[in-house]
């Protein structure tokens, strides 16, 4: 069989530990036998970040801006213990944080659904994708304990002061902020991702209580939608829907899924963990970073699976789930194919995903899924990390 050709390179961001081992195996076993893979390769493994004083991360972010599509392996975010372990000269920042800041992007998390692993909410039949605004609010809030008799003022440009609260007794106060431009970037990333995946977009805040702060979010979304996206949404047959956060929660629970839910920073923090748990497994959760001007970076939501890596290094068998990383590759390949009008490559991405799902649905899976799998007539069998990839390759 002739290999499928690519015209534009994908930006490939390699990573650390067990996911780095799987990264190579996925390419060797599932992609390169079929595709003449063209990538611009950046090694974000911790050793290379140390060697380049983390320049490799910013270079990779620039490459995503240039080419428009990247795929990233999980990476170590150094802490004190990693500084010791890797003899680092500095506690380098989280690569995800650096790339997200460079692209001014929003992260969308979506579960991979498999027939046989049912979400805890019985009526969820399609994935629910959650988008969390990753700027401001309580995450960069300022707080203070205010003793009895304390008054809190706000200083305006020009030096005028207004009193915002004269506390009747001792207590606490919190000041939070957000920026129009950050909210607008968040809105555009959400509208772009909805168009890209042809799913409805829901957005929720508490604007009835927060009549200026949350209302600003609601207004900015509405203005950008009317001015830039309404026509495109109508042409794509999708909808933008705004509602109050508590109404959204009730509707999400009753829904059958298949939409994107955009949340403010705190709501997204809490709700993404709720959704991930209800959909079954972190190892089946994918993540896409989307910039306001439509650049895409695909990855798995989980980390580098350190515990499995140490087993692997000792020569012990592992059963690490590669589904989210395979779907990250498939997502990036599909997006690249769409942008290049490469139908053969697009169809390969579909087949790669289908072969992966079919493998699990017919009973071959990594051990983390065995306990979750329930399907009549199919007895789940847990296999090793590489056997799982070989089983997918057979179907592919």
Does 350 sit near Mg ion (CB under 5 A)?
no
Distance of alpha carbon 360 from alpha carbon 265, whole angstroms = 34
Supply the minimum distance, in Å, between the C-beta of residue 243 and ligand NAP. 30
Residue 286 Cβ vs Mg ion, minimum distance, rounded to whole Å: 17
Pairing of strands 128-132, 106-111: antiparallel
CA-CA distance, 229 to 232, in Å (whole number)? Answer: 5
Interaction partner, residue 28 (ligand NAP, Mg ion, none; CB < 5-8 Å by kind): none
273 interface partner picked from ligand NAP, Mg ion, none, CB below 5 to 8 A per type: Mg ion
Which of 255, 287 has the CB closer to ligand NAP? 287
Token pair recorded at residue 61: 């972010």
Helices (H), the chain: 17-26, 46-51, 55-67, 80-85, 95-103, 180-197, 213-224, 230-236, 245-254, 265-279, 306-313, 323-340, 343-361, 367-370, 385-395
Q: Which is nearer to ligand NAP, 11 or 345 (CB)?
A: 11
Work out what residue 129 binds among ligand NAP, Mg ion, none; the CB cut-off runs from 5 to 8 Å by kind.
Answer: none
Site map for Mg ion, 252-291, x if CB under 5 A? -----------------x---x------------------
Please work out, in degrees rounded to the nearest 5, the angle formed at the alpha carbon of residue 10 by the alpha carbons of 8 and 15: 160
Q: Which is nearer to ligand NAP, 86 or 241 (CB)?
A: 86
The site for ligand NAP, by CB under 6 A, has a size of 17
Paired tokens of 386: 């590489």
Angle, CA 104 vertex, CA 99 and CA 110 arms, to 5°: 75
Q: Which of the listed partners (Mg ion, ligand NAP, none) does 43 bind, with a CB threshold of 5 to 8 Å by partner kind?
A: none
Q: How far is the CB of 280 from ligand NAP (least distance, A)?
A: 12
Neighbour tally for 9: CB within 10 Å: 16
Contact set for ligand NAP, span 318-337 (CB under 6 A): 320-321
User: Which tokens in the block code for residue 37?
Assistant: 């893979």
Tokens describing residue 220: 């900015």
Length of the chain: 396
Question: Which of residues 187, 305, 352, 360 is near ligand NAP by CB under 6 A?
Answer: 305
- Which partner in ligand NAP, Mg ion, none is near 21 (CB below 5 to 8 A by kind)? none
Residue 384 engages ligand NAP in binding (rule: CB under 6 A): no
The distance of closest approach from Cβ of residue 273 to Mg ion in the complex, given in angstroms and rounded to an integer, is 4
Question: Residues in the site for ligand NAP, rule: CB under 6 A?
Answer: 74-77, 96, 282-283, 299, 302-307, 320-321, 368
């Amino acid at each position: 069989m002739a290999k499928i050709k690519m015209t534009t390179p994908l930006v490939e961001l390699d990573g650390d530990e067990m996911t780095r081992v799987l990264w190579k195996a996925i390419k060797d076993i599932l992609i390169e036998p079929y595709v003449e893979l063209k990538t611009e390769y950046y090694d974000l493994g911790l050793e290379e970040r140390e060697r380049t004083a983390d320049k490799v991360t910013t270079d990779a972010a620039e490459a995503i801006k240039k080419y428009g599509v990247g795929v990233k392996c999980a990476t170590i975010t150094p802490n004190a213990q990693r500084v010791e372990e890797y003899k680092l000269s500095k506690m380098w920042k989280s690569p995800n944080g650096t790339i997200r800041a460079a692209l001014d992007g929003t992260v969308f998390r979506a579960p991979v659904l498999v027939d046989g692993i049912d979400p805890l909410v019985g009526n969820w039949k399609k994935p629910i994708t959650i988008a969390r605004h990753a700027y401001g609010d309580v995450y960069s809030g300022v707080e203070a304990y205010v003793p009895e008799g304390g008054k809190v003022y706000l200083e305006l440009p020009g030096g005028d002061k207004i009193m915002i609260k004269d506390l009747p007794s001792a207590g606490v106060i919190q000041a939070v902020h957000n920026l129009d431009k950050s909210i607008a970037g968040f809105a555009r990333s959400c509208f772009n991702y909805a168009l890209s995946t042809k799913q409805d977009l829901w957005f929720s805040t508490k604007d009835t209580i927060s009549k200026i702060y949350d209302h600003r979010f609601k207004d900015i979304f509405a203005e950008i939608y009317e001015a830039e996206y309404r026509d495109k949404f109508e042409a794509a047959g999708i909808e933008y829907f705004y509602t109050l956060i508590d109404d959204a929660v009730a509707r999400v629970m009753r829904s059958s899924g298949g939409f994107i839910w955009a949340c403010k920073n705190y709501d997204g923090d809490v709700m993404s963990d709720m959704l991930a748990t209800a959909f079954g497994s972190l190892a089946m959760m994918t993540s896409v970073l989307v910039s306001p001007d439509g650049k895409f970076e695909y990855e798995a939501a989980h980390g580098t699976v350190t515990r499995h890596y140490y087993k692997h290094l000792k020569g012990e068998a592992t059963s690490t789930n590669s589904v989210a990383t395979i779907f990250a590759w498939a997502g990036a390949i599909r997006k690249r194919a769409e942008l290049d009008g490469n139908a053969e490559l697009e169809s390969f991405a579909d087949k790669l995903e289908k072969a992966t799902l079919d493998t699990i649905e017919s009973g071959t899976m990594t051990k983390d899924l065995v306990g979750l799998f329930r399907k009549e007539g199919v007895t789940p069998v847990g296999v090793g990390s590489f056997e799982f990839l070989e089983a997918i390759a057979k179907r592919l």
